[in-house]
Amino acid sequence: MQVASVLDRRSVLKGAGLLVAGMTTQPGMSAPIFGGHLKVAGAVGSTSETLDPARQSMATDYIRGHLFYDGLISLDDRLNPRPALAEAVESDDFLTWHIPLRRNVRFHDGTVLTADDVVFSLLRHQKPEVGSQQYALARTMQSVRAISPLLVEVVLDAPNSDFPAILGISNFAILKAGTTDFRTANGTGPFRCEAFTPGIRTVALRNPEFWGQKPYLNSVELIAIPDEMARHNALMSGDVDLIATANPRLVPMLKKNGFGVVESPVGTYTDLSIRLDQRYGRSADFVEGIKFLLNREQIRQSVFLGFSRIGNDQPIPPESPYFNHQLPQRPYDPDRARFLLKRSGLLDETIPMVCSPAALASVDIAVVLQYAASRIGQKMAVQRVPADGYWTQYWMKAPLGFGNINPRPAPSLTFEVGFASASPWNESRWRNPHFDGLLRDAKSTRDDTRKRQLYWDMQALVSSGAGVCIPNFTNSLDAYAPHVCGLRPSQAGQLMGYDFARSVWLNETGGRTG
């Protein structure tokens, strides 16, 4: 297989098919030009920014990861695994995997990539002190060893047909064996790390030795502007060329002023999870009532201004090939909700609901829900808590709380992490052995039709049974100055799955000297 570094745009859009017309039209898709300095602003940043792939946890980290490192696998615009440092990822039983490596790939320090580097890079995730974001997934690798300098063998603890997709998670990027110092990055990626100050800025210079398609940009400078207005102002005043996470409310103005906006249908969703093992969630009527009380269309219109897709309380987004489109969409039905809530006996109580700026739009969704509830006589108290400490202190602990789930490269992973009975991240503590069995089957089946059927059944189970309400899937919006070319939507995340730097170029008019 070959990595297609520049894909035809239309072929990408086929599966998604919901991009707003005109929004992604690139002015003058002329031939790419080499050179120039691109300044990009992410939306999150703090001193906890890191160059350690294992610890990457925020968007700017992922961007840095894609600038400096490669994984064995990369995910394309539709989340399909593509070979990167691996020439292939093969298995007969989905249990034992063989990974032949690409030849003559050099790290930034000039050393050549070998199997030892891969073994080191994968196994370090299993050490708790590393603090890997993928600790749990890494533990499913029972053994990782180098069979030859260019061949790695991984044995899993259970069959998993989506293992290649796991290797596409950017945390699993490949480091030089023995790396412990992350003040700079020594990867194989298209850019070299010129400067990195956590929370302030990262400067990347083109890696002339890069093994793949040579990036167009001479250099990339990445900063984080967490303040929304400031970020947009920076773009509009010409201080940066590209920003992540544009606010839907500013899209009309950006377009009016000649700026481009790319809308990516990512599988990110903000969900309200109701703990099924706690007071309110024990009542199935209550859970269902709340699901009927969510005015999804209003959330789409008022909160996301149309830049979202309606969700059906299950985690597979509509653009996925495995999306169950026969599952009836749950409507906004206050009367039914009132009936169910009354039956649950909780109508007279004030239901607390924890939200936080940490979970995108959760405060606004909570407000919409709270208002809808107040119309049918159900009191709900919005408890907004600070973003800091939210994920350990409140998430999955409150009886009703919001989560914010990023897309996983494969449905099996999504289900595994968020809904399997044994998963620590089962938000609503939903326990369904039947579902667990379906998941096991899906992971080991070779037949794609059967797999699709299994996923459909699982979606139906989650939608009706789990305590997770998924009102919308968010669309990611990136905005760019007119001279930025080559930016395309991607299901893999904002800014072309954080990987824009490999594809974007600047046309003559807007080049800035680095």
Read off φ and ψ for residue 366, nearest 5 degrees.
Answer: -60, -40
Tokens of 285: 């009527």
> Residue 440: helix, strand or coil by DSSP?
helix
Tell me if 159 contacts another protein by CB under 8 A.
no
Tell me if 249 contacts another protein by CB under 8 A.
yes
Nearest to another protein of 92, 129 (CB atom): 129
* Least distance CB 484 / another protein (angstroms): 17
Contacts with another protein by CB under 8 A: the residue count is: 74
Nearest to another protein of 239, 457 (CB atom): 239
Rounded distance between C-alpha atoms, residue 143 and residue 32, angstroms: 44
Nearest to 12 by CA among 30, 24, 29: 24
- What's the helix, strand, coil split of the chain in %, to 5? 30, 20, 50
Rounded distance between C-alpha atoms, residue 132 and residue 343, angstroms: 45
Tell me if 367 contacts another protein by CB under 8 A.
yes
Is 366 exposed, middle or buried, given 0-12, 13-18 or 19+ CB atoms closer than 10 A? buried
Nearest to another protein of 118, 373 (CB atom): 373
* Least distance CB 354 / another protein (angstroms): 10
Tell me if 381 contacts another protein by CB under 8 A.
yes
Residues 6+ apart with CB under 8 A from 248: 304, 305, 306, 307, 477
Q: Could you write out the three-class secondary structure of 483-512?
A: CEECCCCCCCCHHHHHCHHHCCEECHHHCC
- Taking CB under 8 A as the criterion, the residue among 209, 349, 364, 441 binding another protein is 364
Nearest to another protein of 105, 235 (CB atom): 235
- Taking CB under 8 A as the criterion, the residue among 13, 40, 49, 242 binding another protein is 49
Nearest to another protein of 59, 89 (CB atom): 59
Among the listed ranges 70-78, 93-101, 243-251, 481-489, the one in contact with another protein (CB under 8 A) is: 243-251
Tell me if 305 contacts another protein by CB under 8 A.
yes
> Residue 103: helix, strand or coil by DSSP?
coil
| DSSP of 327-387 | SPPPP--HHHHHHHHHHHT-TTSEEEEEE-TTSTTHHHHHHHHHHHHHHTT-EEEEEE--S
Nearest to 317 by CA among 62, 497, 78, 500: 78
Tell me if 508 contacts another protein by CB under 8 A.
no
Which 422-451 residues touch another protein, going by CB under 8 A?
Answer: 424-425
Among the listed ranges 7-15, 310-318, 384-392, 470-478, the one in contact with another protein (CB under 8 A) is: 384-392
* Least distance CB 490 / another protein (angstroms): 22
Tell me if 333 contacts another protein by CB under 8 A.
no
Read off φ and ψ for residue 124, nearest 5 degrees.
Answer: -65, -25
Tell me if 385 contacts another protein by CB under 8 A.
yes
Which 173-192 residues touch another protein, going by CB under 8 A?
Answer: 182-183
Tokens of 127: 């050490």
Tell me if 395 contacts another protein by CB under 8 A.
yes
Among the listed ranges 74-82, 258-266, 376-384, 447-455, the one in contact with another protein (CB under 8 A) is: 376-384
* Least distance CB 146 / another protein (angstroms): 26
Is 106 exposed, middle or buried, given 0-12, 13-18 or 19+ CB atoms closer than 10 A? middle
Tell me if 233 contacts another protein by CB under 8 A.
yes
> Residue 118: helix, strand or coil by DSSP?
helix
* Least distance CB 387 / another protein (angstroms): 7
Bridge partners of 228, per DSSP, are none
Tell me if 379 contacts another protein by CB under 8 A.
no
Tell me if 470 contacts another protein by CB under 8 A.
no
Tell me if 261 contacts another protein by CB under 8 A.
no
Which 97-156 residues touch another protein, going by CB under 8 A?
Answer: 128-129, 131-136
Nearest to another protein of 99, 173 (CB atom): 173
